[in-house]
Each structure stands twice: as structure tokens, then as C-alpha cells.
Amino acid sequence: MEKIVLPEIKDLHLIDIYLLNDGYTAAKKAFNQSPDDIIDQVKKSGLKGRGGAAFSAGLKWSFMPKTSSKPKYFCVNGDESEPGSFKDRQIFEFNPHQLIEGILITSFAIGAKVSYVYIRGEYHKWIRLFEKAVADAYQHGFVGESMKEKFGTDFYCDIFIHQGAGAYICGEESSLMNSIEGKRGYPRVKPPFPAQYGLWGCPTTVNNVETITNVPPIISKGWEWFSKIGEPKHPGTILFGMSGHVNKPGVYELPSGTLLTDLIYNYAGGVPGNKKILCVIPGGSSMPPLRGDQIEGVKMDAESLKAVGSAIGTGGVMVMDEDTDLVKVLARIAKFYYHESCGQCTPCREGTGWLLKILNRILRGEGSVNDLDLLISVANNIEGNTICALGDAAAWPVKFMVMRFRDYFEARVKKEVQLPVANKVHSMRNTAFPLSEINN
């Protein structure tokens, strides 16, 4: 199977090897066309954002104003903090020049003179590796003012790396921009969207690392070629990050639409001890989990996962075997969002704390059946009521885990609600059990 983002070529991270493999020829080809042509080709290729929202990359670029009195900026999102997601670091390590070339082409298409690559603070090693690649590209004249001479165009751009410092929320595009501006990573209210009012109030585009790494092959091999790979509505390959209870965890680059069961059993080597699968989270911890008996025939692409009530997210697949304590897993997920909520919006700031508190109560064996409804109610009150998607990300796993594993969770809670004053009728209200079940 053809690999687009992480080709199996030894030492491809070295600029000389990259050049031997037609490196930087896509950029040259792109600079001989008009920016509108490039946007059009990427739009037609059907390339979707790989950062979680699966939004059309070409369409996003077309939102950038054609003429602007202000400078334009381009940001590459390498914050990669979604639990279960560890793909971008592979690009920084094994194919950084294709990313750089993608940045050059995108900057040209949207008219940005400066781009910032935002890399999470914990990735010291990968920041150093990518810094080296950028320095090499500068030295060879592929980036910066010497581009004019190298490519024989009027266009040139600079690439800078911005190191994060440990905040999940900075993977959200407006928060990422605030972080680059030297502020707390608070998401901004949209509209205005980044294309109108982004970095320092200037038109800005933010794309994921994997998305941009897909751009050079689209330009060199043509959009028709790309649009035919995998599922037509979400074409190309996806870097699937397999983790949890699988024999061979790791990143697998496969066409979109690959069967989830294929991923788990063929590529990731199945579940240790041949245990049954209890639960799978298909796209990083914020996406709705699927039951183990629900995964047969599920294809891994945005449309197919939507149809079964989940989402592709970042393609980070977490597999849990039948012995997993789901309450513990969900409590850990809730703890994560409680820790990472930026604190701007009340529903998220307070709600994530409530979710964690209730789940910990269930974990201690003190939960009642009322708590399950309370969890869903709190989650519903967070979802859609916050500035950014972190609220949804915190609500979805809780809501869908409790809904889809209702039997599992009911077995873990007391059937009766403990009230200071014993009142059987009231204690049974708002629960899944009908009043007729009361014995006496």
C-alpha cells in the first residue's frame, strides 16, 4: 500500500535523501501556478483536516481574503495533546521536509509571508529534530529570502517554531493563536474567524501538521490521484495511532475507510491473550466510544464513523479489553478535561469538575443510579454551551459511554438513592427504573 505521509524510505528526514526523492519539486511546480490554482487543486483533491474536525483544507484556505492591507499568517498546529494521538511526532522525526515543503506551498497559496509551527512543549526531542530540518532547508535556500533565487519566483516566506508549554487547549486554533501572541491560551469567540481576524488581528489560517504534509504529493501527483485513495468523501491516507490493549501498538498509515477490525486484528496484531474487546475509542479520547460488539464492519473515515455515532477525530484508536474497568477509564478521561479546561466558560469549568466528582463517587462504590442520569444531564449542559469545542470533548465521552454501556454502569451503582430521609418514591424519581419496580 502506498504511503503518502510517512513513506518507507530510509533516512528521509535528511535533506539530501529528501532531495534525491524529488524533494522540493512540488513547491517549484506550485510556484509556477497561481495561488488560486493551488487552492482549487487542494479543494478538488478532497483533502480534509486531520486535526479532528475533518474540514476541507482547500475551502479553509479560500476563506483568506485575496487582498489585505495587513500581513497574513499561517500557523501549523503540532500541539498534538489529544490522548491517544501520537502521529505528528512521527512526521517531525521521519519526514520533516515534506512538512516544510507543504508549509511553503500553503503559504504561497494563502499569501502568508510568515508561518509559525506550534509544537507542544513536551516534545523537546522533536522540536530539536524539526529545528534541524528547518535550519537545513534555510541553508539550502528553500526557505527565507533565498527562495526567490532558488525557485525563481517573487514569493518568499519564513518558518518559525513556537514551543508550547503544556496546555491541551492550545490545540484549539484560536487558543493557539493567543498562545503565539504571548497570552494565556484562551479560545476566542468566533466569529470573527481566523481568516478575518487571526494572529494580531491579521488574516490567519491554522492547519494540522498531517494535513499540510499531504499537500506536496497532491501538487506533484495531481488531485485526481489523491481523490481516488480510500473513501471518496474523506480521501487519502490517515495516520492511525493504535494504543491500549493491542499486541502491536504504534502508528499505521492506511487509506481512509480501512475497517476498524482490520486495524485492530491485522495491523495492530489483535488483543493480548485473545480477550474480547469491551470498548474502542476511535479517534482520541474526546470522541464518543464504541461498544466492542458495535465495531464489526465499521470503516475508519469521517462519514462512516459519523453514521455509527462517533467521529474520526485525530485517528487515535484506543482499544480496551473485556477486563478493563470502564468506570476507571471514564473517570481518568474526566480528570483530563477537568485539568485542561481553561476556565473561561462556566459550563466547562464547573461541569468538568462535577463529572469527575460524580465518577469518582461511582468508582468508590458510593454512586447511585441517579448519578448516571446526573452525568448525562451535566454533560448535556456543557455540550454546545462553551466558546470552544473542549466542552463538547469533555461531554461526549461521558455522555456516550454512560448511554452505550448503561448496563455496565448500572451494575456498578446502587439501585436506590440514599437520601437523608428515607422516601422510596422520591428516591426512585428520574431514574431508569419505573416506579412499578418498587417492591413494598
Partner 1 sequence: MAFKFSQENLDKVNEAIKRYPEKQAAVMPALWIAQEQNGWISNEVMHEVATILEISPEDVLGVVTFYTMYHQKPMGKFHLQVCTNVSCMLRGAYELYENVKKNLDIENMQVTTDQKFSLEEVECMGSCGTAPMIAVNEDYYENLSVEKLNKLIEDLKKSA
Q: Which residues bind partner 1 (CB under 8 A)?
A: 71, 80-86, 88-89, 120-125, 160, 162-168, 179-185, 200, 241-245, 249-251, 281, 285, 316, 318, 320, 324, 328-329, 332-333, 336, 339-340, 342
CA distance 311 to 332: 20
Report in angstroms how near the CB of residue 233 gets to partner 1 at its nearest: 27
Residue with smaller CB distance to partner 1, 259 or 326: 326
Which CB, 71 or 141, lies closer to partner 1? 71
| Cβ nearer to partner 1, comparing 75 with 417 | 75
Max Cα distance, the chain (Å): 89
Radius of gyration of the chain (CA): 24
In the complex with partner 1, which residue's Cβ is closer, 215 or 331?
Answer: 331
In angstroms, give the least distance from the CB of 213 to partner 1: 16
Q: Give me the least distance between CB of 69 and partner 1, in Å please.
A: 14
For 99-102, the CB contacts below 8 A with 24+ separation are 99/130, 99/209, 99/212, 99/213, 100/133, 100/134, 100/137, 100/142, 100/143, 100/159, 101/23, 101/24, 101/26, 101/27, 101/142, 101/215, 101/216, 102/212, 102/213, 102/214, 102/215, 102/216
For the chain, how far is it from start to end, CA to CA, in angstroms?
Answer: 65
Q: Which is nearer to partner 1, 243 or 304 (CB)?
A: 243
Least distance CB 6 / partner 1 (angstroms): 13
Least Å distance between CB 185 and partner 1? Answer: 6
Distance CA(176)–CA(166), nearest Å, equals 12
Q: Is the backbone peptide bond immediately before 272 cis, with ω within 30 degrees of 0?
A: no
- Closest separation in Å from C-beta 67 to partner 1: 20
- Closest CB to partner 1 among 86 and 409? 86
* Closest alpha carbon to 280 in 233, 306, 252, 245: 245
Indicate the residue among 63 and 200 with the shorter CB distance to partner 1: 200
CB of 243 to partner 1, least distance (A): 4
